[in-house]
Amino acid sequence: MPLRAADFESAASTNFATPAHRCSFLRAPIIHFVPVTPLTLDDFDYELPPELIAQHPASRRASSRLLRVSAGELHDCRFSELPQFLASGDLLVFNDTRVIKARLLGKKQTGGRIEVLIERMLGSHEALAQIRASHAPRAGMRLLLGEAIEAEVTARVDDLYRLRFTGEVPLAELLDRHGTVPLPPYIARQPIAEDERRYQTVYARSPGAAAAPTAGLHFDEAMLAALRAAGVELAFLTLHVGAGTFQPVRTQDLSQHRMHAEAYEIPAQTAAAIAAARGRGNRVIAVGTTSVRALEASAARHGKVAEGVGETDLFITPGYRFRVVDRLLTNFHLPKSTLLMLVSAFAGVETVRHAYRHAIAQRYRFFSYGDAMLIDRMPQ
């Protein structure tokens, strides 16, 4: 059943003030199950007060709140407390993709206004993109974008368009000069200078994402240093997050939904670090749903996480059997979203419903610039 306002009333009647030195917690019976009848889109709906959608980042990256979900308990914590929840030898896996200035405004050769969102760069002069226009552009149509960017629509690929950019300047450079930060649609404002820094992880290295891997936005250099000092190991992979991460699911039958494919790369060091952590009995913690999808896609393809590049359109829903990830650090996700479905598959549908009720009652901040959750995987 979807979450409704009445579901939050009992949780809201309890005060869970968090002491500065430790987490407070709520113990409750949480039922893990794999549904006998298929879940539908409405099973992942919930009501969210609009004021809980974070419109700006927290004052400092690591000052966000952290809801820890473990062994039937909900712990209200601060993100700065993360190192104490990890053991020496545990492995955190981060997505080091770098957000590009993927949004361009312009017009068609016929004069109609358009908005282009680069979904994926295909070499130095081509890209797949979403295009918003009053009338869908046709193959062969020329576009004038930004101040001086010319492009041609060469083909339509499902709900995306293949664009070829003219001139000698590489696309990445054009976007950096003329594009804007592709803030998600639920952030109801125009990008400002702050977003160029804060809608980007501090460890971002490989340009190509149209959306940030938002669980990583909470980490600053001091937190990374504290984790290393505590003996926690850090590893990195790259999955270029596409704008399709915000693509709505349009069918009640989840088996009919198709994910946009996203490119990923797993370095040899990361594959080796995962094998070593497994060998010594430590946990693998994915930072964000994008890290989960890359790791699980690699394991599904090779039988284990392996070095290499690939693409994934893996759609994880309840009933999926995880091969790699033991714990998940993630933000709070949109109703009816594929990301919420992945988290529900990881922790259990009822666990996630319970956690979201609690988070709303306790006024956590939601979505990209919001607060975080640290979740243990449900028994498999």
The pLDDT, as a whole number, for residue 1 is 38
Going by the DSSP 8-state scheme, the letter that residue 44 receives in this structure is G
The pLDDT, as a whole number, for residue 240 is 96
Interatomic CA distance for residues 375 and 81, integer angstroms: 15
Interatomic CA distance for residues 58 and 73, integer angstroms: 26
Q: What CA dihedral angle connects 284, 285, 287 and 290, to 10 degrees?
A: 50
Domain spans of the chain?
5-99+195-376, 103-179
Q: Provide the sign of the torsion angle of the four alpha carbons 295, 296, 297, 301, taken in this order.
A: positive
Average pLDDT (243-254) is 84
Domain 103-179 has CATH 3.30.9.10: no
Higher pLDDT, 33 or 147: 147
Maximum separation of any 2 CA atoms in the chain, in Å:
63
The pLDDT, as a whole number, for residue 245 is 72
Distant-in-sequence contacts of 116-120, Cβ < 8 A, 24+ apart:
116/143, 116/145, 116/151, 116/163, 117/182, 117/210, 117/243, 118/171, 118/175, 118/179, 118/210, 119/160, 119/210, 119/242, 119/243, 119/244, 119/260, 120/208, 120/210, 120/240, 120/242, 120/262, 120/263
User: Which CATH code is given to the segment(s) 5-99+195-376?
Assistant: 3.40.1780.10
Residue 244 confidence (pLDDT) above 60? yes
Average pLDDT (74-95) is 98
Block residue for tokens 């975080």:
372
Residue 98 confidence (pLDDT) above 70? yes
Which tokens in the block code for residue 181? 């930060």
Q: Do residues 304 and 336 lie in contact, with contact meaning Cβ atoms separated by under 8 Å?
A: no
CB burial class (10 A; 0-12, 13-18, 19+) of residue 309?
Answer: exposed
Q: Please indicate whether the domains covering 5-99+195-376 and 103-179 agree at the CATH topology level.
A: no
List pLDDT tens digits, range 310-340. Answer: 999 999 999 999 999 999 999 999 999 999 9
The pLDDT, as a whole number, for residue 32 is 47
Residue 6 confidence (pLDDT) above 50? no
Of 9-18, 35-44, 47-56, 336-345, least confident by mean pLDDT is: 9-18
Which tokens in the block code for residue 117? 């969102």
Helix (H) or strand (E) holding 224: helix 221-229
Residue 376 confidence (pLDDT) above 80? yes
Confidence of residue 26 (pLDDT cuts 50, 70, 90): low
What's the Cα-to-Cα distance from 347 to each of 56, 72, 368, rounded to whole Å? 28, 10, 20
Percent of the chain with pLDDT over 70: 90
Q: Kindly report the pTM of this predicted structure.
A: 0.90
